[in-house]
């Protein structure tokens, strides 16, 4: 990347600097973001300060870890920029999480927990992430730390890590995601569908919260999730003794998602072109009602969930033999190919996670406090959004140049052949 990016960065960061409303912080923000983008393998404060030469370690550290400034105005500007770049009715809002491996036990939120990137349980911090994406261009707009029970059950530990009072409540990752989605919707950012993996999609309350907000969604699911046929009938069984039943029950018991799709026709669908050609898998789908409604005690004394919202149940068979399952409340008349494309669009958030770590040092922060970690994460998202803006501008110039060249060639051809 040529050195012109530094001049572009200064202009692009102007709204963020203005929102800080402080001369010194207005210098530290561009210095920090430039340190994340610039050369060097390590993007923690000490090496960034030593490479800069114009700002000291103490200044950068104070800006991130101690200085009294609110992240909310900068988050609002970031969302506005993301919306300008990739927002729209055809955009995706992708919910996921990413792990930051850590040693020791003092960094805020660190604990032995499952890290999907590593495929195992490891000592790490886990951040719920939200990515706005369109046309395979992701822009990260939210990173929020998940606090395990080891932390939420220990007030002294949270106080030492300077966790804000309003953040000390135990929340699941799906609950954190809903809070972040509400923040993004309130900002006016535009998207057509929420995507998430089974870690979120298996939560009935998460799916129901999305539907209550009038949002379209396509999410992963456990193969064991119970479902009913879409046309399931509710009946009032006649009791042999005792009081008659007050509530209707399904005419047949639910079955697992895996069994529900076993007899369907599986079709080979290609959803996009990759670097090695078209990407294809076998897919099947049917309309179902998820067994996630209120619970009733059945005649055999077991508890059974009643039919909930009617949605699409989608299965995917990969070339490795692995099978995945999904639910979506996209319209009933939508094509299987469109369903498959929506489900598979989630991969771009993994690309964003990788670039934030490998190029911008998301996982290089060495501080221990809540505020320091979240400010560092915000700076990496701002840096990433700037790089995406440059890439989109470069792609637009290239497209414009191709169009101009084609028009010139066409005009020359017409001039030579009246």
Is 44 found in the same domain as 175?
yes
- Quick check: is 416 in a domain? no
Q: Are both 189 and 120 inside the same structural domain? A: yes
Q: Are 121 and 112 in contact (CB under 8 A)?
A: yes
Residues 283 and 365 in one domain: no
Give the residue from 280, 310, 345 where a domain finishes.
Answer: 345
> Rounded distance, CA 32 to CA 55, Å?
9
- How far is the C-alpha of 161 from the C-alpha of 156, rounded, in Å? 9
Residue 417 lies in a domain: no
pLDDT at 399: 58
| The pLDDT of residue 174 | 97
DSSP notation for 180-228: HHHHHHHHT---SEEEE-HHHHT-HHHHHHHHHTT--EEEEE-TT-EEE
Q: What is the pLDDT of residue 154?
A: 95
Beta strands in 88-202 (DSSP E): 92-101, 111-115, 120-134, 137-146, 193-196
Tell me, yes or no, whether 203 lies in a domain: no
Residue 390 lies in a domain: yes
| Structure tokens given for 364 | 């290089």
Task: Answer yes or no: do 288 and 373 share one domain.
Answer: no
- CA separation for the pair 177, 62 (Å, rounded): 29
Same-domain pairing of 324 and 359: no
Q: What do you get for the CA distance between the two ends of the chain, in Å?
A: 45
pLDDT at 299: 56
Contact predicate 391/385, CB 8 Å: no
Structurally, how many domains does the chain consist of? 2
Domain boundary among the residues 298, 329, 345 is at 345
Cβ atoms 110, 148 nearer than 8 A? no
Q: What is the pLDDT of residue 257?
A: 94
Stretches where the chain sits below pLDDT 70 are 1-3, 236-247, 274-276, 294-303, 397-418
Q: How far apart are CA 31 and CA 64, in angstroms?
A: 12
Bridge partners of 217? 194
260 in any annotated domain: yes
Q: Are residues 237 and 355 in the same domain?
A: no
Q: Which domain, by its residues, includes 314? A: 219-345
Q: 290-302 in b/e burial notation, b at 16+ Cβ within 10 A? A: bbbbeebeeeeee
């Amino acid at each position: 990347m040529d050195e012109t990016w530094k001049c572009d960065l200064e202009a692009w960061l102007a709204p963020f600097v203005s929102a800080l409303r402080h001369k010194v912080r207005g210098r530290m923000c561009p210095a920090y973001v430039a340190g994340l983008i610039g050369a060097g393998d390590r993007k923690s404060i000490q090496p960034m300060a030593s490479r800069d030469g114009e700002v000291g370690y103490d200044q950068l550290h104070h800006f991130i870890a101690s200085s009294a400034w609110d992240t909310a105005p900068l988050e609002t500007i970031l969302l506005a920029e993301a919306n300008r770049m990739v927002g729209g009715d055809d955009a995706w809002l992708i919910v996921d999480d990413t792990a930051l491996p850590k040693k020791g036990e003092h960094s805020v939120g660190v604990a032995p927990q499952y890290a999907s990137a590593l495929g195992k349980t490891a000592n790490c911090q886990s951040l719920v992430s939200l990515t706005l994406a369109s046309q395979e261009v992701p822009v990260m707009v939210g990173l929020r730390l998940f606090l395990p029970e080891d932390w939420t059950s220990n007030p002294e530990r949270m106080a030492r890590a300077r966790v804000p009072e309003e953040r000390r409540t135990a929340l699941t990752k799906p609950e954190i995601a809903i809070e972040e989605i509400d923040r993004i919707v309130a900002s006016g950012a535009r998207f057509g569908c929420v995507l998430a993996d089974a870690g979120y999609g298996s939560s009935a309350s998460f799916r129901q919260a999305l539907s209550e907000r009038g949002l379209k969604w396509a999410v992963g699911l456990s193969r064991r999730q119970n479902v009913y046929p879409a046309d399931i009938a509710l009946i009032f069984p006649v009791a042999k003794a005792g009081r008659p039943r007050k509530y209707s029950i399904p005419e047949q018991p639910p079955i697992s998602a895996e069994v529900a799709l076993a007899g369907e026709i599986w079709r080979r669908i290609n959803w996009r072109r990759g670097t090695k050609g078209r990407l294809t898998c076998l897919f099947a789908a049917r309309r179902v009602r998820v067994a996630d409604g209120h619970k009733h005690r059945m005649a055999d004394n077991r508890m059974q969930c009643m039919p909930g919202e009617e949605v699409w149940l989608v299965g995917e068979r990969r070339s490795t033999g692995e099978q995945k399952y999904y639910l979506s409340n996209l319209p009933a008349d939508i094509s299987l190919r469109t369903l498959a494309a929506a489900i598979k669009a989630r991969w771009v958030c993994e690309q964003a996670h990788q670039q934030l770590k490998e190029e911008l040092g998301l996982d290089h922060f060495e501080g221990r406090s809540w505020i320091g970690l979240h400010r560092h994460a915000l700076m990496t998202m701002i840096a990433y959004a700037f790089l995406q803006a440059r890439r989109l501008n470069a792609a637009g110039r290239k497209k414009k140049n191709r169009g101009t060249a084609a028009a010139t060639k066409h005009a020359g051809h017409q001039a030579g052949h009246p």
